[in-house]
Amino acid sequence: MLALVARRLMTAVPTLLAIILASFFLMRLAPGGPFDGERPLPPETQAALQTAYGLDKPLWEQAWIYVSRLVQGDFGPSLVYRDFTVSELVAQGLPISLTLGGLAIILALLIGISAGLFAAVRAGKAADKTIMMIATVATALPTFVTGPALALFFGLWLGLLPVSGTGEGWSWLIMPVVALALPVSGAIAKLTRAGLATVLKQDHIRTARARGLPETKILFKHGLRPALVPVASYLGPAAAGLLTGAVVVETVFGLPGLGRYFVQGALNRDYPLVLGVVTLYAALIILFNLFADLIYGWLDPRMREG
Amino acid sequence: MKALFKRDHWPLWVVLSVMALALILPAVLPWTYDQIDWDAVRAPAFSGSHIFGTDEIGRDRLARLAAGTQVTLMVAIAAALVSLVVGIAWGATAGWVGGKVDEAMMRFVDALYALPFMFIVILLMVIFGRSILLVFVGIGLVEWLTMARVVRGQVMALKQRPFILAAEAAGSPPLTIILKHILPNIAGVALAYLMLTVPQVVMVESFLSFLGLGVQEPLTSLGILVKEGADDMDMTPLGLLLPGGLLVLLLVCLTIEGERLRDIYS
């Protein structure tokens, strides 16, 4: 277990470095810069700004400076939010995005696994077909439609939940988390249902039935665990999907998370901000994949020495 | 072909009908999608010649819906075709050549799979500017991965079949074998995955347009319409519900049809 973690972290560092360098050089290839406003700046000002932000140095030197500062936790200054460093923006946005994503994946697992389990127990019956139909529809629900639609119904019409901002208490989290969790829970329900359908046909289940074990014990103790293996391997892509979904949800509900800074940075060509957020996203996804692998190993002991 | 008329394929027919309506309506409607009716700003549905009313600056909602659907579906089809060509070329080469080349090519696909592709597309948009051409080239280039995997698997299985071995023994060059004997045999599976790629692409395009990074004004797409509707939903909820509902309908139908085809062919 420890060996796996260590080995994965060893490959994570070069992967992360490659992603950072690739995005760094790609962004610098881009025509147009962060100081292109409506009115062209005088050349002296332009040059002074370039020097102040170190944009006049050779590219490889800029990359080296960037990475060496990054190692010390310094993401550099934001070019558009002039009074803030990227580290400050990111430190403020990360907790919000993590809360949204974390709660969404927990909710999606709860809904998805119970729905999939329920459908598998009633395989072939009307309940099974209905649940699978709902799951298919759920996977096709884009967050940028469900988000505003939820805000319209529960925020504007029923007045139950706040439409925008973080506000008091926890109620502001409900709609963003539900909008994020819906498509993921549909996919998890389908995977759980398919996994259980295969597992329940296997010999060890028949043996358990022959031994007269109660059906609930068969289902939860012998059936569910191997059936969740495909769900575990879906967790990595799901995390990436949740991060992209969070970009939309944060924009729709006006939450100051990482995603909003990413979009603002992309629209304004704020290189350090976009780079910083991409780096964090990549690190989060790598970490989450490692976590998913550990769950995978726990669910299926054969995978532990893989 | 006859099989497509069975009742099971209703989702395909829903999509085709929407597509046909989106193509025909602009020719019949009295308003174009960017024409402003100064006398009817935020008109309710069924008022005068505006069947679904008008938006916050007086543009006919139905006309905009038709134009947006056209753009969204055209971008989706174009991008799906790019992914089809790239995916088949990559997958067939890897599967046919095999060995180290295959391993290297598929490792590359695995590596790309692990990347959060939406962020790559956004990076590309930032770097190369926002043009509709790039939207679909960008999307098509990241959506080919599944196609490549599926095609490679199929080619590897076919390669061992007697009729392919016979063609090889008869001295047919590899390209001829791939084009004449292998491609026709993987067409069904490729079609099924093409069908599943279309909703993915629709989703990505609308996502980008929603954030303001995709299709640009004066062109419109379903993503832009959802965005405009969301911004004005406290005044005219119809502006959000119509394009949002249509988008979900298209995505659901395309997904159901794609999954059905996939189950048939694999």
Q: What is the mean pLDDT of chain A?
A: 83
> In the structure, what pLDDT confidence band is assigned to residue B250 with cuts at 50, 70 and 90?
very high
Between A156 and B149, the more confident residue is: B149
Report CB contact under 8 Å: A248, B123.
no
pLDDT of B90 strictly over 90: yes
Closest CB to A137 among B114, B213, B252: B252
Q: What is the CA radius of gyration of chain A?
A: 24
Closest CB to A278 among B119, B203, B230: B119
Give chain B's end-to-end CA distance (angstroms, integer). 19
Report pLDDT digits (tens) over B161-186: 888 888 888 888 888 888 888 888 88
Report CB contact under 8 Å: B123, A263.
no
Average pLDDT over residues A201-225: 86
Contacts of A114 (CB under 8 A, 6+ apart): none
Give the pLDDT confidence score for residue A306 in this predicted structure: 46
Q: Which token pair is A22?
A: 């690739």
Percent of chain B clearing pLDDT 90 (strictly above):
11
Tell me if chain A has a CB within 8 Å of the CB of B82. Answer: no
Closest CA to B229 of B79, B63, B61: B61
User: ω before B218 within 30° of 0 (cis)?
Assistant: yes
Residues of A with CB under 8 A from a CB of B: 19, 23, 26-27, 29-32, 136-137, 139-142, 144-145, 147-149, 151-152, 156, 236, 240, 243-244, 247-248, 251-252, 262-263, 266-267, 269, 274, 278, 281-282, 285, 289
Q: Cα separation of A146 and A184, whole Å?
A: 13
Report pLDDT digits (tens) over A287-304: 887 888 788 778 877 766
Q: Are A101 and A249 in contact (CB under 8 A)?
A: no
Give the pLDDT confidence score for residue A181 in this predicted structure: 93
Closest CA to B147 of B110, B193, B112: B193
Contacts of A278 in chain B (CB under 8 A): 119, 123
Question: What class, spelled out in words, does domain A101-258 have in CATH?
Answer: mainly alpha
Q: Cα separation of A238 and B139, whole Å?
A: 19
Q: What is the pTM of this model?
A: 0.83
Give the pLDDT confidence score for residue B129 in this predicted structure: 67
Domain boundaries along the sequence of chain A = 101-258
Give the pLDDT confidence score for residue B247 in this predicted structure: 93
User: By CA distance, what is B198's nearest residue in A?
Assistant: A140
Residues in chain A: 306
Average pLDDT over residues A108-115: 94
Count CB pairs under 8 A between chains A and B: 104
> In A122-253, which ranges are continuous DSSP H helix?
126-139, 143-150, 171-199, 203-210, 215-217, 224-227, 229-252
Average pLDDT over residues A22-37: 69
Least confident of A164-173, B61-70, B75-84, B196-205: A164-173
Q: Are B72 and B205 in contact (CB under 8 A)?
A: yes
Q: Which token pair is B220?
A: 């419109």
User: By CA distance, what is B128's nearest residue in A?
Assistant: A30
Report CB contact under 8 Å: B252, A278.
no
Token pair 């099924």 in the structure block, residue:
B192
Between B112 and B200, the more confident residue is: B200
> In chain A, which ranges are continuous DSSP H helix?
2-29, 43-52, 59-71, 86-121, 126-139, 143-150, 171-199, 203-210, 215-217, 224-227, 229-252, 258-268, 271-299
Largest CA distance in chain B: 76
Domains and CATH numbers, chain B: 3-265 (1.10.3720.10)
Of A185-199, A238-252, B231-245, give the range with the top mean pLDDT: A185-199
